[in-house]
Structure 1
Amino acid sequence: MSQLLSLETPDHARPVRLHTERGVFAALDVPPAGHDPVRGTALLVPGFMGSKEDFLPMLPALSADGVRVLALDCRGQYETGDASPAPSHSRDDLARDLVAVARSLGTGPVHLLGHSYGGSLVRAAVIATQGDPSLWASVTLMNFGPGAVSSWQRERLRLLLSAVESMSLAEIWPLVRSKNESVPEHVERFLERRWMSNSPIQLAAVAQHMLDETDATADLARMSVPVSVISGTPDETWDPDGVERMARQLGARYVRIEGGGHSPNVHKPAEAASALLDFWLTRHGAAVA
């Protein structure tokens, strides 16, 4: 379960429906706050059991520095739902959705960010399009590792797969809900509503994707698109040391955010936003040595 502590939303953010050749996708569209011209467009892709709201804590800082930000609900997530008739939740099709969304914006190349499992989709989209510079200004992997998740997370995914096959989402909710007592009651209610809105088919498909994840770092390294890697620590899903090794192989700009956990976008949003803006707006910093 992605982590959220607040639902505070910038006043100038607006919920939108993005009409693409692959269906209709829910997003939050946050234009730059007082900046003209726009200094870039970013597309933020959430992870497993997440949604566009996972990025709320970073949105004010990103838009304040002149970037238009769109945070997405992927196919099967929260307010997007199926997106189109006869939906497919294969990894390749979910990656094709991102390509269609980027094309639908009509803004030129976008800065693409994937958090956790969203990193797998982002990587697949960039590789499938051969790093097309007309689509991608850059790509950022946040708390996503090169291959398989930790053994502890693999066991959790197998349990979830078993539960989805035999239980309703309402019955599963007590098993997956946050045990963090600092989560406000209204946020807890949102998390439950979001969970109940997910597609069980998508949950099962993505859980299997994560169990089957292979290391495609070398394929991404062959693309010419600029890459950055952000790793919040500690992280029990992908080992931060393994994430750093992946960054070295990619020749990527690497930022480790101590105390960010698996969701630095939530726990250290100022640091995460600063790392993103430094990369997006300069893209000339040294790669990890």
Structure 2
Amino acid sequence: METEQINSYLDTAGNMIIEYAPKVLAAIVILLIGIRIINKVVSMAIKSMSAKGIGGDLAPFLGSIVGIGLKILLVFTVAGILGIDVAAFVGILAAASFAVGMALQGSLANFAAGILIIIFRPYKVGDWIQVPGEFFGQVEEIQIFNTIMVTPGHKTLIVPNGEVINGVVTNYSVKGHIRLELSFLMAYEESFPKLKGIISDALQGLEYILDEPKPQIGIESYDTHNIIVAVRPYVAPDNYWEATFEVNERIKNALSANGIRMAYSEGVELGSIGE
């Protein structure tokens, strides 16, 4: 009796080997070849993203996501070749993905926003930007969930990408130059053409002031004691603060050297209006 059972087991094992051996062999071959192909695809994707200027840390991360997705498809393919019902696995995976998605809803929104930033590139590393919430600084790193910015005071801002993508982003670097918004006070009795010439001469030869576009100088408005004179030179975004300090100092010295007087707010004094 035992001999008959053993023979039966051997026959069953032999039949299973004959039936499943080709499938197992094919599954192993497809798995090995598929992994090699996926690794090459991921490597090509990382090189392509790096060539397009995507950060060195971000490109491998996105490549790993692509690799994981392709390997999951490969596993399902191999399971199908072996005759395993993958419908149950797909259902479990879908349920798990839904649960994780609900738990990480905010993080997934930042993740999706990070992908949009990478694709459409409203800004890049090194740009000076202002994002919703009046956060201003230079982009140091674009991560998958956050954008890292450094303020002029060297404070590090970690701004969620979801907040960035849902509002207005001001990019000060995309044009290559920005305009200083400076104002000076001029007494009513002073000559504006004279003052304009003094300021124009003072701006000549300054290190950080661009020749093109040309600086703009004009009367901005009037108040009870002074005429508000606007001075609008153009500078490179990286030189914003240095240029501001340089222009203020140079104009102050020029006004002093030419004897330009300024009205003060203490009391009320009537005076004549200059040219």
* TM-score range relative to shorter protein: under 0.3
Higher normalized contact order (CA 8 Å, seq sep 6+, divided by chain length): 1
| TM-score of the pair, normalised by structure 1 | 0.18
TM-score, normalised via structure 2 length:
0.19
In our comparison, the structure showing a higher alpha carbon Rg is 2
Flag the structure with higher helix content: 2
